[in-house]
Every structure is written in structure tokens, then in C-alpha cells.
Amino acid sequence: MSTLLAKPASIRLSDQERENLIAQLDRDGFFVLPQKLPQAMIEESIAAIDRITAEEQAKDPTRRSVKKQNCVDLDPAFRNLMMYEPALQLSYDVFGPMFQLCQSNFVSRAREEVQREDFISGTPWHADGPRPGLFPRVKNTLGPAMGLHYLKFGYFLTDLTHGNGGSLQVVRGSHLHDELDGDRSTFNIEKYFDDVVQIDCEAGTVIAFHQAQWHAAPPNASDVVRKNVYISYCPTWMRPLDREFPTEEQLAGLSPEERWLLGEPRPAMRWWLPTAEDSQRMARFKRDGEAALTQVKNYE
């Protein structure tokens, strides 16, 4: 089992960095962004998590750890994370201009000596998705496996280099294997020990992985509360996992890119086939040497 740490770099990824990260995603099923999240974004995200966690604990004083789905609707700090440029650059790389927000959540994980099957105190080995084993499979060198349906970014806001804070663990290359789903009673992680990577990372590290990647996190055995946010993106023809599409009223005051990612109202056909204007909406995130994709026919 190996440990991976992020290294700082500029905020916008170069075309070569993007090429390298996508190659790692294809090979390993995950990658660590070469730059840390800006300190201001770390601080505003932690403040939002602390505020909402305190509200939840006031309702139930016995709660130590808190997880909230669809967090982008709970505080502007999480919507800022949704707009994090390197994540949108890489989502453009794998989906083209027609991608949207798929899912968002945060976890504030306090010290927990015992892992419960609640995905809050800790997470057992699994792959993501609603019954992911029922998603379409594609062939690769190892046989049928899961295609990339959404790309997930983990923003780790507190330091995990002390090694016992419930760090994210992944099995390198597991997105190419049969997916963990349903009855996992016969699953033995020791068979894959050489490919397990425990990401004991510094605060501000951003990790992305394929939704079929096997991953887990043990309970937090430290006195440092583990705080992180997950945000994922998917093609516009897929239904988001944890949210309803917003109304025009709910989208008031947001930027054109935010409106697009949140799923602004539009005719059904345009979720599949973009107009020329649609295909340009996320063009800022294309590669520097690439022309934005266009679709000249108007389907309205």
C-alpha cells in the first residue's frame, strides 16, 4: 500500500497537465490535482461546514459526524467549489461541453472508534452510483467493466498527513475490474493490497476518481475533525443523483456557467443535442489549443 501527496502548481491546468491527468484516470482510475485549493476557498468551505454541522448537532446533540447531500444549495461556498476551474477543465476533457453537476455532499467526520454502515463515520469498500452494477458495461483488456458515467472530485479541507484521520483509500486500476455492488460479503481487500493507495494528504488537496473506482475510508481515529466536500459531474443526458432541477427563480443572479451546471430549464432535446449557443456555454474550459465543439442546428 502506497501514499500519495499533492504538489502545488498554478490554478489553471496546462494542456500537458490535462493530458497527463486524463491518462492517469484511464490507467489508475484516479488522480491528484497538481495544485492545492486556494486558502480562501478552504476557509469559506470550512466555515460553511461548521455552520451547518452546528445546526444539525443542535437538533440532535448525540450526533458527532454530519453528512449533507446536495450541499451546493446550502451555501455559496459549495457553489464556488462547483465552479473550481481545474475540475471543470477536466470534466470538459472527458465529457465535452455537454456536462452538468451530478452530485455534491460534504462530510464533517469527528473521531469515531467504530465504523458504522452509514457512510458518515466511515465508508466501507464500494464503488459509486445508484446500483452501479446495473449501468452499461464496456470491454477492456481485463474484460467487461464500467464506463465513465461521472467524474467525482474530493476536496480535502483538513490535514490528513497524520495518517489515522480516515483518509481516502482507492484500489489502483479497480475501475477496470468488475464493479463492487450488491453482496460484498465475499470481498477480500487483502487480495488487492499491493494496489491500495491511502491518500494521507495535506489540507487543500483535490482528488478525482472514476465512479467505478473501488474506494473506502476508515473511521477517523484522530482528534482532527475530517472535513471534505465531494462534487461530481456527468453528461447532461444523465439525471443528477441527489437534486431536482431548479426553477428560473432559483437561478436568479447566477452566472451563465452556474445556470448551465445546475440545469437551467430548456427544451428536452437540448439536453442531448446542443444548439450552437449551448455548445459554447462551457467553452472557457476547453484546452488552449482546441476549438470549442459546435452544433449549428437549432432544436427549439
pTM strictly above 0.95: no
Question: pLDDT tens across 136-180, in order?
Answer: 777 766 666 778 899 999 999 999 999 888 899 999 999 888 777
- On average, the pLDDT of the chain sits at 88
CA distance 132 to 272: 22
For the chain, which residues score pLDDT lower than 70?
Answer: 1-10, 113-119, 140-144, 181-184, 291-300
Q: Is the distance from CB of 258 to CB of 82 less than 8 angstroms?
A: yes
pLDDT of 143: 64
pLDDT of 76: 96
Domain boundaries, the chain: 2-249
pLDDT of 130: 72
In CATH terms, the superfamily for domain 2-249 is q2cbj1_9rhob like domain (2.60.120.620)
